Structure 1
Amino acid sequence: MLTIEEYISQMKKKDKLDEFNFKNHAENMTAVIKYVMEYFNTYLDPEAYNYENIKTEQAALKIEQEIRSAFPKSKDFIIDYYKRYKTWIDKGLKPLIDHNRVG
């Protein structure tokens, strides 16, 4: 699930919208307002998504961003573990791994 910022960015790329083209200022503003309306009315359908699932997906995205460089080979496992058990396994492993690297 995309955040509203990611959704707007994706739609701008799809439509090749250039917000710095001031000749099309009114059209650009209309397009962005349309993206926001589509996001809340169509993409983010409250009946199709469970609030807890949305929170879990957002947390998983945050975890992925934080661990991408620290655990590149095991990030998928860590994210799947979080989704299943709602626990950040990487928080417990990082001190152990760092300690073993020093020693």
Structure 2
Amino acid sequence: VETGGEVIAAGAERLATIGSYRMPGVASAVQLIRFDSEGIAVSAGSACSSGSLKPSHVLKAMGLDDKAAGEVIRVSIGRETNEAEIGRFLAVWREIARGKAAA
């Protein structure tokens, strides 16, 4: 991923409309706040740990350590999600990555 981010389970069979993404060096909580400030709803961790900022036991079972699991957000794309909204998500994702690089 051009931002330095990582697609979790990129090679696994999964739903195309739900993905987990890791931005190394940026805590999930920081990402959630940034996306929320832009009106973009994302979640931390896995669906099994929704509503919790503790590292997901599912992500840990997939081999991520606590730090890495704590840098993951989950994104869902609905049937009404349009290209402009996806573009906005990607723009904010890039801003987060640039902010990380500048820190």
Using the size of structure 2 for normalisation, the TM-score is 0.31
Whose helix fraction is larger, Structure 1's or Structure 2's?
1
- Structure ranking higher on relative contact order (CA contacts 8 Å, 6+ apart): 2
| TM-score, normalization by structure 1 | 0.31
Q: Which has the larger radius of gyration?
A: 1
